[in-house]
Amino acid sequence: MEGYIDIRKLTLDELVGVTSLYPWYAGARKELCERMSRMGEAALSDRQFPDAAMHLPSRSVVSDIVRRAKTMNLTDADVDDLVRSYEQEKEGQRQNEPSGKVYAGVGDYFSQEEYDLVRREEDNVFSRYAARARKTGPEVAAPVREQEFDLYTETLAQIYAEQGYYEQAKSIYSKLILAYPEKNAYFAALIQKIDELN
């Protein structure tokens, strides 16, 4: 075949250029995701994967690429290294074991020092909302009024009539008579029909 370019042979910069010129070219997006995932986690941010998934026919393609990139390849791992790391981990657990600590069935199982070691910035989301609510006080909802619509259609009136809300349907037809005086006979006939059903 003549006149085509194999995207697998393009450099990374050329591939980025192709995806910027043709954002809906799914094959180029998929190839770019695969290459970036092979380069490591730092190459493609968490924001770029959803953006690429938006342009592909199936999000599972990007999901599979991300999963493959995050799995560890242990095919060439030395068994001695694995055993050594396992033993070090076991020994570290023995050293970290609390001696003589009594745990109650209720309350907080972690000391403040232990919690400070694992605390992240995202943990404070709720406390910010709670603090803001304490400052402003509880929100008082506005009294609920009957909804007033600016838009009345014949279809809405028909729906009301079909559901048994005859007064609302007649009210809408009355407003339609005022809005469309050339159709007042038609809407008046519909109001009469509702009166007969009622």
Residue 190, pLDDT > 90, answer yes
Closest CA to 63 of 53, 48, 72, 51: 53
| Alpha-carbon gap, residue 190 to 169, rounded angstroms | 9
pLDDT band at 42 (very low <50, low <70, confident <90, very high): low
What does the pLDDT look like over 113-123, one tens digit per residue? 777 777 776 66
pLDDT band at 6 (very low <50, low <70, confident <90, very high): confident
pLDDT computed for residue 24 by the predictor: 83
Q: Looking at residues 1-11, what average pLDDT do you find?
A: 80
* Token pair 């009210």: residue: 171
Q: Looking at residues 69-78, what average pLDDT do you find?
A: 63
Backbone CA torsion sign across 173, 178, 182, 184: positive
Residue 16, pLDDT > 70, answer yes
pLDDT computed for residue 167 by the predictor: 93
CA distances to 9, 13, 28 from 1, rounded to whole Å, are 16, 25, 19
- Report the run of H or E that residue 131 belongs to, with start and end: helix 125-136
Contacts of 175 (CB under 8 A, 6+ apart): 152
